[in-house]
Chains A and B, each alone.
Chain A
Amino acid sequence: MKQNRNGIVGSMAAVAVITSLGLAGCSTTAGVEVTGKTTWDEQGARSLEKNVQFNNSGLKGDIQIVDVKSIMAGDVMRVQATLRSKDNATLPFQYRFEWYDGGGMEINSGAGSWKPLILYGRESKTIQSVAPNPRAKEFKLKIREPD
């Protein structure tokens, strides 16, 4: 009886191991999504509405979005995000910026490429991007673990 129970526990553990192997081996998680939208108040002052969403609890333990800011270079929007590592080890990440116009339509849809980013232990680093053209009013920054 006791042996049988041990067997069940053993196979349950095996299933858990299989599941975790399968996930770790062949998937890249959605990671972190930071969105920002340029808005103007009645006085014409520009401000940035921002939102940070973690879709991966592992990544939430690794990095922190310290700050997101945006300025205009002429008529083109520029964005900078400050990231901080919460880990003591050197961690590799990838990030990508996507840009949207005032109507929420993506500009050059799917044209953005992932860029490598290395964060040393407890380091904070900034990543920047420039809008592809003056129509861009919103951006989405995606950060993930390397695929």
Chain B
Amino acid sequence: MKHGMKILFAMAAIGAISLSGCASTIQYDDAGSAKPISTEFGSSDLQQIAEAMVESMITFPPMVEMTASRRPVVSVDMVKNKTMQHIDTESVTDSIRTRLIRSGKFRFIDRTTDAQTIEELKTQQDSGLVDKKTAVDFGHQVGAEFLLTSNLSEIRQKLGSTTDVYYKFTMSLKNLKTGILEWSDEKEIRKVSKRGTFGG
């Protein structure tokens, strides 16, 4: 009888401690965490793609040769999102561009801020507020030599409680003068989810 009570107490203690140890709370987590929540496109997938593309591009031998003496000017095209999901693909290319700028090997032009640039130049030229000696003229921006294009596609398969999603991100660097693709690479990611018997 006494022994039985002790076991009961011990079990209650296990329950209480394991619950209090992992109680649900709000906390900061590692922004570089690779913990998958679902088979949807996630933050870790974005980081893996960005790092793989940049590492491939800056170590590709013709690129190493070209960037040894100069920093070519590149423009980034929108990602063609061929998946069934809504993905902020600009965020993917932003990450790639940021990493390429950090490498110190490429320079970029940004077409998404052209409207603001034109507005600012117009003000400098026409408002009469700005000293003509320091006002920036139209027509002096540098044209991009290369265009960075990319595609994101997925293959989704489902059988019973298993969902298997394959992502493929392909990126190419196109020489705008010659039309030649100077570099291209792809990154594959596969995510599998198995729904438990009692899971929703």
Decide: B2 and A3 in contact? CB cutoff 8 A. yes
Report the separation of the CA atoms of residues A17 and B32 in the bound assembly, to the nearest whole angstrom: 32
Say yes or no: A115-B18 contact (C-beta < 8 A), given A7-B2, A76-B59, A146-B34: no
The residue from B13, B21, B35, B58 contacting A146, defined by CB atoms under 8 A apart: B35
Chain B residue nearest in CB terms to A17: B14
CB < 8 Å neighbour of B10 from A3, A10, A78, A111 = A10
Structural contact, B14 and A133, CB atoms closer than 8 A: no
Is there a chain B Cβ closer than 8 Å to A103's Cβ?
Answer: no
A22, A128, A132, A147: the one contacting B99 at CB < 8 Å is: A132
C-alpha spacing A66/B17, complex, angstroms: 41
B48 close to chain A: CB less than 8 A: yes
Chain B interface SS verdict (over half): helix
In chain A, positions 100-134 with a C-beta closer than 8 Å to chain B are 108, 110-116, 128-130, 132-134
A-B contact count (CB 8 A): 92
Q: Is there a chain A Cβ closer than 8 Å to B77's Cβ?
A: no
In angstroms, Cα B139 to Cα A118, docked, is 53
- On whether the beta carbons of B55 and A114 are closer than 8 Å, the reply is no
Which residues of chain B are within 8 angstroms of A111 by Cβ–Cβ distance? 32
Q: Is A57 an interface residue (CB 8 A)?
A: no
Whether a CB of chain A sits under 8 angstroms from the CB of B151 is no
Cβ of A45 within 8 Å of any chain B Cβ, yes or no, is no
- Complex Cα–Cα for A25 and B23 (A): 11
> Is B117 an interface position by the 8 A CB rule?
no
Q: Which residues of B contact A128 (CB under 8 A)?
A: 55
Map CB proximity to A onto B37-78 as digits: 1 under 8 Å, 0 otherwise: 000000010011001001100110100110110000000000
Number of A residues near B (Cβ < 8 Å) is: 35
Chain A residue at minimum C-beta to C-beta distance from B32: A113
How does the 8 Å CB contact mask read for A57-92 relative to B, with 1 for contact and 0 for none? 000000000000000011110100000000000000
Does B6 interact with chain A (Cβ within 8 Å)?
yes
Report the minimum CB–CB distance from B141 to chain A (whole Å).
Answer: 26
User: Do residues A18 and B33 form an inter-chain contact, with CB atoms below 8 A?
Assistant: no
CB pair B14 A115 closer than 8 Å: no
Task: Look across to chain B and name the residue whose beta carbon is closest to the beta carbon of A116.
Answer: B34
B103 at the interface (CB under 8 A from A): yes
CA distance A112 to B47 in the complex (A): 9
Which of these, B7, B14, B59, contacts A130 with CB under 8 Å? B59
Of A6, A73, A115, A133, the residue contacting B59 (CB under 8 A) is A73
CB-based contact A132/B6 at 8 Å = no
CA gap between A75 and B21 in the complex, in Å: 49
Return chain A residues, CB-CB under 8 Å to B9: 11
List B contacts of A129 (CB < 8 A): 55
Shortest C-beta distance, B45 to chain A (Å), equals 10
Q: Nearest CB to that of B21 among chain A residues?
A: A22
A114:B33 contact, CB within 8 angstroms: yes
Question: Could you list 6 A-B pairs, sorted by A, with CB under 8 Å?
Answer: A7-B6, A111-B32, A114-B44, A116-B44, A132-B102, A147-B34
The residues of A with any CB-CB pair to B shorter than 8 Å are: 3, 6-7, 10-11, 14, 17-18, 21-22, 25-26, 73-76, 78, 94, 96, 108, 110-116, 128-130, 132-134, 146-147
